[in-house]
Amino acid sequence: MLTLSTIKDTSKAFYKKYKLLIWIVASVFILLMPVIFPKNYIMGVMCRILMYTTLAGGLNAINGYSGQTCIGIAGFFCVGAYTEAILATRFELSFWIILPLAGILTAIVGLLVATPTLRMSGIYLSIVTLGFSEIMRLIALNWTDVTGGAMGIKGIPSPVFFGISLKNSKVYYYVFLALAILFLFTTSRVLKSRVGRAWMSIREGEIAARSLGVETSRYKAMNFMYGAFWAGIAGAAYAPYVKFLDSTYFTLDEGWNVLSMVIIGGQGTLGGPIVGSIIVNFLTEVLRPIGQWRLVAFGIVIIVMLWFRPQGLVGASNSILSGHDIVRKISQASADDQKTETEAAT
């Protein structure tokens, strides 16, 4: 009889046997995507998927690996985007110089947000990050002399790479692809380091981590800076892609959009932001005819995910987020109690 466990075992065996071949075919397909699907519409969707992979990955680094609750990622996205737009249009700096500068500046802003909130958690931290996001949007809207206000910043120059101007989605695809790969590689290395283990120990139990000598405040601040850095990088890459920037790109809806990617894909997993970005962007295109009602559809999807698979699509079935382990322990404890009572009665 064909069961879900049988399918999983077969898939694992197939992957293990043909792992190298699968990776080669997947890599070639990804690199040749602009050739296989040359239409600007398709490549535009692919660019957004890759951009949101990095942006949602930055949020996942905060929420998924250290257990902090940030829902104001749009604020960091805004800082990175406006940094690139201002430095490129007013000071005519190269995109490749601005890109790391935007990430560093956003990381510093992340530290400024994290420092007074290190003792906060849960809904309190969520409200602070939400307020920060809205403050950044209002600054972008009202600081007319610097950000252009409601008129925004126009004519953001396209990056130039070895004399080639990256003006359209077909070539800009490789910029977002390179950043997504760099983010995944860097994060995978960080998670295997002492810093990454400290983040995860804080997620599993901050008091226990502190009792083992982990400087929780320092590592939580570093975690916020790391997530903010990549959000700033995503924003800096996005600004010259759209060539025009105003405050409407960074509303609270954008923050919820990125958060939904993390929840659907799976918090605390490297693949979660990728899967979440693909699904949410696909749904956005499919549900575009219904306008703002698609946000209701996203809400329903999130509720269903939290109810039936809270660990996300990529999360392991025995993840602590799934609740299965908790249910098993409760059931085992109940069975042990009944066994003890029976033995005492006899």
* Domain membership flag for residue 280: no
Let me know: does 263 contact 306? Beta carbons within 8 Å: yes
The identity of residue 172, as a single letter, is Y
pLDDT greater at residue 168 or residue 80: 80
Q: Quick check: 73 pLDDT over 60?
A: yes
> What average pLDDT score do residues 204-224 get?
90
* Domain membership flag for residue 121: yes
Closest CA to 29 of 132, 163, 222, 177: 177
For residue 334, give both structure tokens: 């109940």
Residue 197 pLDDT grade (very low, low, confident, very high; cuts 50, 70, 90): very high
Let me know: does 144 contact 153? Beta carbons within 8 Å: no
* Domain membership flag for residue 135: yes
Let me know: does 45 contact 281? Beta carbons within 8 Å: yes
Domain membership of residue 159 as a residue range = 36-250
Res 87: pLDDT = 95
What are the pLDDT digits (tens) for 146-167? Answer: 999 989 999 999 998 888 888 8
Residue 284 pLDDT grade (very low, low, confident, very high; cuts 50, 70, 90): confident
* Domain membership flag for residue 26: no
Closest CA to 51 of 216, 179, 196: 179
Q: Quick check: 326 pLDDT over 50?
A: no
Taking the C-alpha atoms of residue 113 and residue 68, their distance in angstroms, rounded to an integer, is: 13
The identity of residue 107, as a single letter, is A
Residue 301 pLDDT grade (very low, low, confident, very high; cuts 50, 70, 90): confident
Domain count, the chain: 1
Let me know: does 133 contact 255? Beta carbons within 8 Å: yes
> What average pLDDT score do residues 209-226 get?
91
Among the residue ranges 145-154, 251-260, 274-283, 290-299, the one predicted with the least confidence is: 290-299
* Domain membership flag for residue 179: yes
* Domain membership flag for residue 200: yes
Among the residue ranges 136-150, 163-177, 198-212, 315-329, the one predicted with the least confidence is: 315-329
Res 346: pLDDT = 52
pLDDT greater at residue 9 or residue 96: 96
Chain mean pLDDT for the chain: 85
Closest CA to 129 of 116, 140, 142, 139: 116
Taking the C-alpha atoms of residue 231 and residue 216, their distance in angstroms, rounded to an integer, is: 23
> Is beta strand 164-165 parallel, antiparallel or unpaired with respect to 160-161?
antiparallel
Among the residue ranges 192-206, 219-233, 277-291, the one predicted with the least confidence is: 277-291
Res 1: pLDDT = 53
| 113 Cβ contact partners less than 8 Å away, ≥ 6 residues apart | 72, 128, 129, 132, 224, 228
How wide is the angle at C-alpha 236 spanned by C-alphas 230 and 242, nearest 5°?
130
Taking the C-alpha atoms of residue 250 and residue 76, their distance in angstroms, rounded to an integer, is: 9
Res 307: pLDDT = 83
Taking the C-alpha atoms of residue 223 and residue 228, their distance in angstroms, rounded to an integer, is: 9
> What average pLDDT score do residues 85-92 get?
93
> What average pLDDT score do residues 256-272 get?
89
* Domain membership flag for residue 233: yes
pTM (2 d.p.): 0.85
For residue 233, give both structure tokens: 């990088």
Res 61: pLDDT = 93
Residue 51 pLDDT grade (very low, low, confident, very high; cuts 50, 70, 90): very high
* Domain membership flag for residue 255: no
Q: Quick check: 321 pLDDT over 90?
A: no
